[in-house]
Amino acid sequence: KAGVTQTPRYLIKTRGQQVTLSCSPISGHRSVSWYQQTPGQGLQFLFEYFSETQRNKGNFPGRFSGRQFSNSRSEMNVSTLELGDSALYLCASSLVGRVQDTQYFGPGTRLTVL
Amino acid sequence: AQRVTQPEKLLSVFKGAPVELKCNYSYSGSPELFWYVQYSRQRLQLLLRHISRESIKGFTADLNKGETSFHLKKPFAQEEDSAMYYCALLGSSNTGKLIFGQGTTLQVKP
């Protein structure tokens, strides 16, 4: 079974631009969660999507948004990029997001904002 | 507030020594806790979850509600255990929201 894939793997943007990151979950998984990983703040939850609906949201500004498609693929968008948005963005998928379901993580997208 | 604390950034032990990675949590309900591991150049992956009461690669973790802790233990460390370990709390029942600690790097010296 193919694992979680994320594209692109690396991105360089400048302040003020916007960016879209993509996550393809494991086949059959319907829950997709996004996390931001930085050296200072560690791993922080951004949001979770299940059946095309946002089910949970972390404490991030409205510049961070996401969506999920009918095939469970998910995208996250960051508008008006700031230097502090430089981070590794991870997505994770699970069957339906129950506690018994294992979350499988992708390799991440490394975003650098200049 | 929901929070996970891992007090040690780095834990360095010799091969064969016991290992205990500390994790404390703050959660108002009944917590669901996990340990995730990231080996060098690999993805973050689940090591174990408390509801399964399992032992994976010789590691165990016991939930202590009185001390709000979920420490990870292994009696005899191996060099291949060297990795970054994250303790995580499920932030909301039956959803995919995980709250992670800052992580502890375990270094096992030969």
Q: Which of A36, A51, A103, A109 to mutate to test the interface with B (most CBs of B within 10 A)?
A: A103
Whether A100 shows a pLDDT value over 70: the answer reads: yes
Candidates A94, A99, A105; nearest CB to B44? A105
* Residues whose CB falls within 8 Å of the CB of residue B4, separated by 6 or more in sequence, listed in order: B23, B24, B25, B26, B87, B88, B89, B99, B100, B101
The pLDDT of residue A77 is 98
> pLDDT tens for residues A49-90?
999 999 989 999 999 999 999 999 999 999 999 999 999 999
Instruction: State whether residue B86 sits within 8 Å of chain A by CB.
Output: yes
Residue-wise pLDDT tens digits, B21-80:
999 999 888 888 999 999 999 999 999 988 777 788 999 998 999 999 999 999 999 999
Please give the span between the terminal C-alpha atoms of chain B, in angstroms, as a whole number.
41
Q: Nearest CA to CA, how far is B76 from chain A (Å)? A: 27
Q: Which secondary-structure segment (H or E) carries A90?
A: strand A87-94
Give dist(CA A83, CA A114) in Å, integer: 6
